[in-house]
Structure formats: C-alpha cells, structure tokens
Structure 1
Amino acid sequence: MTKGSNVSLTALSEDTDAVVVSLRWNSATGDGDADVSVLLLDADGKVRSDTDFFFYNNPAAADGSVQLLGKKPTDDGNEDRISLDLTAVPAGVERIVVAASQYGGSTFGELNDLRVTVADRAGEALLGFSITDAGVESAFIFGELYRRGTDWKFRAIGQGYETGLAGLATDFGITVDEESDEESTDRPMGTAEPATDPGTVPPTPSEVLVVPEQPGPVRSSPVEPASPRARGPRTVKKKITLPRTVRPTLAENDSWRPARLFPASSLKSDREREMRATSVLLSVMAEVPEFGRRLTAAFGAPAGRMQTFVEVALPHGDSPKRPDGVIRVERAGKLWTALVETKTNGNALRSEQVQNYMDIAARRGYEAVITLSNDVELEGRPLVDVRTDGRRKHKVTLWHLSWAEVAHQAQLLIRHEGVGNATHAWLLQELLHYLQHENSGCHGFQNMGPAWVPVRNGIDAETLCQGDPRALEVVESWEQLVRQVCLRLGGELGRKALPVQRAKRGTDPQTRRVALADQLCDDGRLTAEMRIEDTPGVLAIVADLRTGKLRTSVDVQTPEGNYPLTSVKRLVRALADAPADLHVETLIEDGKGPRGTLERLRPEPGDLLPKDGARIIGFRLSLFKSMGATRGNAETGFIRSVDDAVDRFYASVVAQVSAFERRSASRPRVKEQVAAG
C-alpha cells in the first residue's frame, strides 16, 4: 500500500473477523526499539476514556477486542504483534489507531525498514505498508482500521510526532501526567514493592503509566535495578500481582512440605508427565482468562468463552487418535478449535503424529494444531515437517509453544502485569511452581544435543572442518538456549529481553546459521547478543570452547560534556558493588585503550586514561567464568553455566552501570539549563 491509501478487509479475505497487525523494524546496530500502542476512537476521533488506550502496561481489553502479543525477534530486527477481534469491538468505536513510540531521545529515523502488515487469524498476510520518510519523530501512527457500514477498512497513514507518546496521546484525548523528579524518587532505588498477603490486593502505586521497579533475577543476589523510565499517560487499570517476598512458614521444621494444588513429586514415567502437564496447563488457561488469551491470541483464537479437554478420541482411519488436549473458544456462536500435542522431559515431537492431527483438524473443520515441548522454535526452522493439501479449502495452521514461553507469560502476569483477582494470581503461581519442579519435565530447553560432545572434542583436537553438519546442530542449539535465556530473564525482570541477530539485510536465517557454524569451526567460539529494555548497550555472550571460558560483556558510552577523568571516576564509583574481577577496557576511536580489573583500578581510576590523550568513546565491561562441560542442564552442565553467567553479570554489573549512564547523561542537560537561565 502507499501512504494515504485504503482497502476493505473483506475484499482481501473471507475470514477477517479477527486479524493480527504486525509492526516491524530493524537497526544497523541492533539497539533500536519501539513500543506499540493501540487507541480506540469514537466518531469524534477521541478515546471514550483512558481505558481505550492499550500499551505495555495495559496490554489487553477486558472484552478481548485488543491484545498486545509482545515482541518476537526476526533475523534482522523485531516484530511487535497486536491481535484485534473486530467482532468484539464496541459499537461506539469507529477507528482503531495502531502506533508506536520511542523513548530516551531516540527517533524513528534511527530505525530501518519500518513496516506494518495485517494478517488473518490463520497468519496469512493480507496487506503491508512501509514507512520510508521517518526522521526526527519519536512517535508514529502506522495505520488505522475504521468502520464503513458493516465492513472494516485499513488506511495506511505514516504520520509522525516529534512530541513522542505524550503528544500522540494528547491529540486523541488521553490524560497526560508527566512524573516529576521528586515523585520518581519517593521510593528508594533498589527496593521492591511492599510485600502483601497473597489473598489480598497489594498496593498499586503505578496508576501512572510507568514500568515498576523490579529486583534482579531471583537466581541472583539482590541488586540495585535500573530505574523505570517515566512515561506520561495515565491508566485506571488496576490488577493484582503477587509479592516476591516469601511469607514466614508455620512449619515446625524443613521436612514439612507445603500442600500444592499440582503435586509433581510422584511423577515417574514420561507418559504421566505429559498427561499431568497438559491437564494442569489447559485447566489454568480455561480458569484464568488473561492467561488463556495471552497464549491463544497469538494463534488466531478469538476472545470468548474457553473450554479445554484432555484425551479426546477422534476418528482417523481404522483406529481413533487421541491428541493430548483440545482447546475450544466460543465467540458470537462460532467455535475456534485447536488440537494440542504435548511433549515433556526433552522428548522430541514426531512428524507422523503431528501430521495425523493436521489431517484430522482439516477434515473436522478445526482451525489449528498446537505443539508444546521443551524445544524453542527457531525462525525459518520448523520443529516438525508436515505437508498441507493445497486442494483443501479449509486451512489448518500449525503453531508451536515452548514450556519456557508458558512460564514466561505466567511470570509476567503474576509478578509484573497483574491478573483480575487473587485466586487467578494464586492459580498462576501454582502453575509456575509445577513447571519449575524437577519432576515436571517442563523446564524448557535443557540439552545441547548429541553433536555437543563430538564438536567440543573436534575443536580441542583441531579436526573440526567447515561444513561439518554437527557444527550447525550446535549453533541451532545455542540459538535455542539464548532465546530461552531471554524469556527467563524477561519474565523475572518484567522487561523485554530479546536476542539480537546481526546479519546482512536479506540474509535468510539458515544462511546466517551456516556462517556461524563455519565461524565456530574456525575459532571455536559461540557468540550471541541480547538487548534488555532500559539497560545500556547490548549484552554480549561469548562461549570459547577452546579455553572453556564464558565471557559476558556490555559496552558503555561516555556522556558528552564530561572530562575524561570525571567519566572514569564516576564509572568506578557506580561499580562500587561490582565483582573485583570485573575487567574494564577503555574504548578509543582508533583501537583499544588501557584495561585492567576493577580491583586494580579502584585506587587508581586514572589508569584507564589513554597515555596519548586519544578521545574515549566508551568502556567495555566484562566478566569471565568457567563453563560447564556436559551438554545438559546439571550443576556441571553448559546450559546451567550460561544461565548463571548472565544472571551474575546482569545483577552485579548491568543494573549498576545503568544508574551511572542515567546520572551522567543528565548532568550536561542541567548545565545547559543553568546557562540558559
């Protein structure tokens, strides 16, 4: 589509009762990001109330008409998706505006390939619109859906705002409240929200649209987290979250075990684990609407009354087939049905079994087949190969969900975004406890695969050659692990954590993985990057299989307007609680500058200054640790060592240096204000 053009959705597809709107972008550095928002407008072009504004802190409408599905990484950037159930949109709403905004002084001119697409509930793209003239704008309206009689049409807009999210929201009647510096410091940095009884509603201090402060990952020691970024529009949305603080136990001794709603200690066989996990998950999805919608909206399910079933017998040839579960959603007299196939304990999905369910779903008019396992699906790399009969008019879509994604969504709801009542929060807490139990078999990706040991041995003996298919298997397992680390960390922090994929534009995912496999054969290293919301730079991970060391690092920019020695001293002060073995390296324009451990630099910060007076452009902070040797997730395993390394680095370094960047960056602006005065 071109800017200003419009098209009727019914002219593009017979099934447009529900659509998925996707916003995409990328950047050369991998650092660019934006937040999507949706506004429901009446005939006057204004919201009916502030609750018609949906954003990161108010992601779903109670009637299911709007649901923000969150980001997923693409090969060269990010995609943010929105589910719109057009049959559920209130009659008083005439337009649905889809927008995105940036923060911290960033603009859309720094992003590439801005694009919006609209797909039907089966995932088939109907239309697309690219924005090519972005510049200094910090907010953009990508497009809008609007009513024409009984039909919905889409208009490509591409209008930008230099005033950001606040300016955009004000234009459509949203109440904006800019948080003052005094208000943002009411609660000491690093303190969590007050603990409350799980059966009561905890205080909700963030009616203002602000990301709450959260402690570091639960696996790490307490840290000072990055401060929330203040954002203006208000929301009256109040939801219940569970406190992190554990209530004192009434047990006489440690041998007393608390009663659990979903016990897992007696599970022994894989079949038992699959049946229990399927029943537990589907029952909670049906009872907690926010959770059920969160998991199924991405698969094209409407918002409506959900019922779930297990061990359903369905005719197929001479003998019936029994999928592990069935999900049915009723909306306006119509049924959406998905068959569920579950695997636990690292067991792989079987193509033949999934193919049977696809055929059954097609014959019975069902909409989807959902596979659920510990594996994390990679872009361009389906977990199972199935064939589709193009002659069939009815389309069935195959979707995959990892147990790590299920735990991630549960963690976000009960710790950060909230659910409708205390009982729902408790149910999600019990589900999360079950998924994390050692006997559940739902721990997510936890095995680097059979190629791991031969590849390590080949690297040690220098016999691994480019083109070895085992190296490609290890690279794919590494990518699954990194994606799972992002899910876990994002759920614990309540912030978006996404892997960064650096590749030439137009490179398909498999070509990129082959290049990384060849690099592994040459230098014996696995590399990855992840971007965590509200943290400086990109967190880099390098696993050197030759030395057996893991390196986690982040680059910190020096603020303009500060003397070099001042910047160095402030950095060292900000890292007062960082590990003594933290490596600090000065980055200069024409090469590498001085470096040393924090233990040596604390008494003499000036040692980080280049002797020739070269301009400092930043600092690289790195921690090293030994990595596990085994392919699994045991205490001595590689996967566990990567988890621990990322947790330790975030908690002890990244959270502290985030505060350094904010304080340092604010000082030049203060000087400018004084000078202007």
Structure 2
Amino acid sequence: MMSGMNHIAKGANAFVPTVALRVAVRHELRPGAPLVAAGALLLTANGRVRGEADLVFHGRPVHPSGAVRHVVDAREVSAQWLELDLPRVEAAIERVLVVCSMDRGTVGDLAEPTVEAYAPEGTSVARYTVTDAAAETAFVFGEFYRRAGGWKFRAVGQGYASGPAGLATDFGLAVAAAATAPAPAVPPPAPASPGPVPLAGVSKTTGPSPVAPVRPAPAAVPMAALMAKSVSPAPVAPRGAWTFGAVFDPHTVTGKGSHVVTAARRIPPGPVLVEMEHEGGGLFCVDRLDKKNEADHMIFNSTLKDFRGNAAVDPGDGPRLRLRVEARGRWTLTFRPLADARRLESELTGRGPEALLYMGPVADLEMKLRGENGGGYCGMYGYEVAGHPTIAAARERTLVNAAGRNHKVSSPLPDGPLLLSFYAAEGSWRLKVRPV
C-alpha cells in the first residue's frame, strides 16, 4: 500500500475523490502500548447524529445504509479500518467523523496516531498524524464533509479528556451511564405455575479483507459504554456463520459507457457478490458472458436514476467471470465475497436489487415496495445454499413476484442459511421478519 504526499496539517483540509475509500486508524505498536477502538459518526446538517444507528464501530460494524463499515484484521493489532463509500452516503448526511476511544491509557500514550484514506487502487488521498495529543481518552481524528458537489477531508485533532461520554454528548448521542454498561438485571425466580408466556482500469482494494458484520449490541447498552470497550487482539471470528462462497480482497473496475469486464485472476472460483453503481438515469444492463462470449445470464436491468445495487452471481463456464456492461453514464463494478452482503435479521430498507443473507429460523417475510419511473415490479428468490457449491445447485424458492407501483406482500422463509436474491426492485423497499 503506497502512501502519497497527502499529509494534512491540523485544521487544514483537502478534496478527496468521491469513491469508495478505505480509511485506516493506526499507530506504531510498542510493548505495553494501549489500543484504539476506531469508529465513525454520521452527522446531519445540524452537526448531530439522528440516533444510535449513526454510530459505526466494532460493536455495530455496518451502517443501515451500507455506506460505512468498520472492519478489523487480527494481523494488524495496531490498526483498524473504516470502509467509507462516499457515493452511497445518504443525502441527509453532511459529515462523517472518524473517531476513536481507548481501551486504557490516553491518546497521548500512542506513538504517531494517524488517520489515512486510500482510493480503491491503493493510492493515499489524505493523511493526518496527531502530534499534540495529551490526556484525552476519546478523539476526533478528522471528518469527511460535503463541499461544492464533492467531498473534502479536514484534519480535526480534537480530544476529550471526558472520554467517550463527552464525545457522544457533543454529537447528540444520549448517554445514560457514560462509562460503564448497566449490569444485567437478575431474573426473578420462575413461577410455580405456567404464566403467560465506483473503464478506467482494474484497481485492487488494498488493506485487510472486511469481516462479516457482527450482530448489533443490545440497544439498552449506552453507546458511550460500547465505544469504550477494548478491542481484543485475539483472532477475528469467522464471517458469522456464513460459509457459502470464497473470501477474497474486493476487486473494483470503473468505466463509462459499454464495456466488457473480466474479474481479476486472484478471485477464487465460485459465487461472488457483484456491486454496481451507475451515474444518472436511463436504461442500463449487465450480463454474464459464457465461454462462447455470449450473454447467458442477466444480472442488472434497470432505469433507476443513480442506481446502486448488488447481486449474487455464479461463475460462468469460462475460466474467469466475465460481464458485459451496457450503459451511457459512468459506472463502478466491485466484486466482493458473498459474506459481505447485508444480513436480514429483523428489518432492512433499501432501493433497487440486492442480495441479502438470512441466518434465522423459520419466519414470515413482509415486504413493502414504492415503485419509481412509473413501474413497480419486484421479484425475489430464496436459495437454500448449505452444502452446495453454486447458487444454481441450491434449492430455489420464489418469495416475491409482484407488480404494481406500490404494494405489500408476505412470504414464508425457511431456516437459514438462506441467500435472498432481490433481483428486481424498481424502487425503494422495506423488509421485515416476523417470527412464527
């Protein structure tokens, strides 16, 4: 990973490209040195979060929008990473703060605490090293903020001797018990009787592979207490219980207009997650090509303006996955492990097609769709992928097949692991899981 000459002094700012950035929070590892717990705060125009979901950290590693993720690599004890997909940041969000809290000691005890942002191809686009930290136990390294239709990074360098509680309060997080989580209540004895019961070229996303989202911590635990939890240097747990599909570093291709895209050689064979972003409006489509160089499977076909979506794609019958993009505007294709797809646990919102992972028990799935562009067809398949090498080999269930500008449907879900392929969704949607 190359670091350019993009060093920024405290208080200074610079434009960064509006792409999916990888942001490292790191320091030199020395014997006995404390570790940092990095995170991000998503702020609206009033400089405050909208709620607890706008805090992203190791205990809640994925923002509901999918635009900000926290990732950890056990091989880098002294570094944590944030994936900041600037084009996907919601319009209501004006600033994204990069923050940290300490497991022990102070920020002043760290050797060269640094925040550095990297473009998808690995180029450093902004770097700030803190030189004046002292007794602070929580810190704002910097912020990404909207300016003139793009994004800039500012080196903030603001510390809080009052710790995570002071930081949280400043940006609108309610702190019930600032430093420690409340002890769990002791349950009463059981009753004796039963009661009621972003084609500029191929670019490699560098840095550690993202880990799977961890289940959110209980909402009753104060955010400041959660931020203050130390980050264990023990090996990172596997990507949840999801084992379908190989794990690899993401691979990104950007372009404009129609092109043929070939996945990188380093991507292992097997099903992958293909993310697509397309600027502007108009019809565009993406097809998989077979070994005869003919389209054999449609992946995306949409007229949504400023489209962002993803799909689970089986490998073709050639040596590598090849895709044909037919579009007018600029676009970005990213190949990711399926384990990076969002988990459907209780409720999710989104727009356009998306692949989701369901790990829960038998349940009912409720869906609401608000159609756009005069249409509203939506379709979803469920694949019982356990024990199968490809999506095509798994048992397929039709979960949603409906048309109309606005509609609400429900469908039964079997036990997970289940791959949900929301392959057609011409508008915004909300999914809810109802226990049976």
Give the TM-score, by structure 1 length.
0.34
Give the TM-score, by structure 2 length.
0.50
User: Normalized per residue, which structure has more helix?
Assistant: 1
Looking at both structures, which has the greater relative contact order when contacts are Cα pairs under 8 Å and sequence separation is at least 6?
2
Which has more radius of gyration? Answer: 1
